């Protein structure tokens, strides 16, 4: 098992294809990571970690959990820190890079490396209402992998 320092990311997960699949949402403060996570949670996803995510690899897969000090809570801008439906950990299968502008219509596939393992990377403006659907479509488009969770 290879542990890494916490990543500035919000991570959410959903049960699909018989396993929990995590999506790590990356970006600078204020770009909309938590807002996108809240909209996904409203559609049945679970919060793994908000703002900072502990990442490690095991068996060639990337896993994520919340640091103990923030577990089970998410920041809602203008409201404060609130509790959310959570998942203690998840195998991460997709990274989403939040960008504050429109993205290319047909970009070349990208990856980002976490703890020595490359994950598919989706660049996404999180502000449009369709952003939650784009994340779901991107997750569905991934080739199924063997999972132990």
Residue 104: what pLDDT? Answer: 81
CB atoms within 10 A of CB 16: 14
CATH class of 2-141: alpha beta
pLDDT tens, residue by residue, 19-60: 999 999 999 988 999 999 999 999 999 999 999 999 999 999
% of the chain with per-residue pLDDT over 70: 94
Ranges assigned E (strand) in 27-116:
46-49, 52-58, 61-65, 73-76, 80-83, 89-98, 110-114
Provide the whole-model pTM: 0.91
Say which residues have a Cβ less than 8 Å from residue 16's Cβ, sequence separation at least 6. Answer: 139, 140
Average pLDDT over residues 119-134: 96
pLDDT of residue 92 exceeding 70, the answer is yes
Virtual torsion, Cα 37, 41, 44, 49, nearest 10 deg: 70
Question: Residue ranges per domain, the chain?
Answer: 2-141
């Amino acid at each position: 098992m290879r542990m890494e320092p916490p990543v500035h990311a919000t991570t959410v997960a959903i049960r699909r294809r018989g396993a929990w699949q995590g999506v790590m949402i990356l970006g600078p403060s204020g770009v909309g990571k938590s807002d996108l996570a809240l909209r996904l949670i409203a559609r049945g996803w679970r919060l793994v970690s908000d703002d900072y995510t502990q990442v490690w690899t095991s068996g060639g897969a990337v896993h994520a959990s919340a640091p103990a000090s923030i577990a089970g809570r998410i920041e809602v801008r203008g409201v404060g820190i609130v509790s959310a439906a959570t998942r203690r950990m998840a195998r991460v299968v997709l990274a989403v890079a939040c960008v504050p502008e429109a993205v290319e219509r047909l970009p070349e596939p990208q990856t980002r490396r976490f703890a020595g393992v490359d994950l598919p990377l989706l660049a996404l403006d999180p502000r449009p209402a369709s952003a939650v659907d784009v994340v779901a479509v991107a997750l569905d488009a991934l080739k199924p992998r063997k999972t132990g969770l």
